[in-house]
Amino acid sequence: MSRSPGLIDSHCHLTAPQLANELDAVLDRAQEASISSINVVGYTVEHSQRAIEMARRYDALWATVGVSPHDAKDAPEGFEHSLRTMAVENRDEVVAVGETGLDFFRLISPRETQISAFIKHIELAVQLGLPLVIHCRDAFETTCSLLAEHGASAGVFHCFTGSAREALRAVELGFYVSFSGIVTFSNAQQVRAGAAAVPDNRLLVETDAPFLAPSPMRGKRNEPSFLVYVVEQLAKIRGASRESIARVTAENAHRLFGRTAR
């Protein structure tokens, strides 16, 4: 992929079959769109392992290991030990723990199951000195209390859909805030207010592909090359150039995930 410091997709599910089945073509289009790195985020133990395998094969890919709140109900007993082994044995590939967090909107896993899995991820991230990749929906207060209670101080609220006040609270807690294609949707005024409020040094961008394709691709299968539409929208909202959004979000991703720019 591009050697010039390009865009970084801070959150993408490249192991999902919709993308994994045509990975080379997806990565070629990402390169054409100046995407220099992609954080491949696991959501089950098995997909975390696959994310590591992808990151081993491609320099431009990083891996994040975790079990998502939706998948928490199906996580095997002791899953946190598997994640720990993966992270410890693959220090060159694994940049974060997640995605984890709480989703009290969809409640695909019961609340208590989500909370217990989230705490295990926080403890693991703190022990390993890795940042957390957090999914949070209709659970902002509980998420913040658990982070504080268990000593987490680094990570990102991914695919942020909260208010500007919540975005600033996340920043105060030491976290980054990442925006996805949702920021381009016509009914997403609150998300745009959040995107305007985050300081430059805490802003990240992501696709969350294969989900949430930005406008004008809304409804299609999403992929990293569509990140340019998110950047364009953020540039508009923040009164900045696309180049400066690309630069600051890439610098932030390198700082958070402990990678030097290539």
Q: Which residues contribute to the site for Zn ion (CB under 5 A)?
A: 208
Return the number of the residue (58 or 211) whose C-beta is nearest Zn ion.
Answer: 211
E strand or H helix at 70 = none
CB of 94 to Zn ion, least distance (A): 16
* Region class of 220: left (phi > 0), else alpha (psi between -120 and 50), else beta: beta
Q: What is the C-alpha separation between 121 and 139, in angstroms, rounded? A: 17
- Backbone dihedral angles phi then psi of residue 205, each to the nearest 5 degrees: -125, 155
Q: Which is nearer to Zn ion, 14 or 122 (CB)?
A: 14
Burial 43-54 (b: 16+ CB within 10 A, else e): bbbebbbbbbeb
Token pair of 10 as six digits: 């801070």
Would you say 71 or 208 has its CB closer to Zn ion? 208
- Of the two residues 103 and 208, which places its CB atom closer to Zn ion in the complex? 208
Taking the CA atoms of the chain, what radius of gyration do you get in angstroms? 17
Q: Which is nearer to Zn ion, 165 or 220 (CB)?
A: 220
Give whichever of 98 and 238 is closer to Zn ion, judged by the CB atom.
98
Two structure tokens written together for 222:
């999403």
Question: Closest residue to Zn ion, Cβ-based?
Answer: 208
In the complex, the smallest distance separating the C-beta of residue 135 from Zn ion, rounded to whole angstroms, is: 6
CA–CA dist 130, 111 (Å, integer): 25
Rounded least distance, CB 69 to Zn ion, Å: 10
- Nearest approach, Cβ of residue 239 and Zn ion (Å): 29
Token output for 8: 């970084």
CB of 203 to Zn ion, least distance (A): 18
Q: How far is the CB of 260 from Zn ion (least distance, A)?
A: 25
Going by the DSSP 8-state scheme, the letter that residue 177 receives in this structure is: E
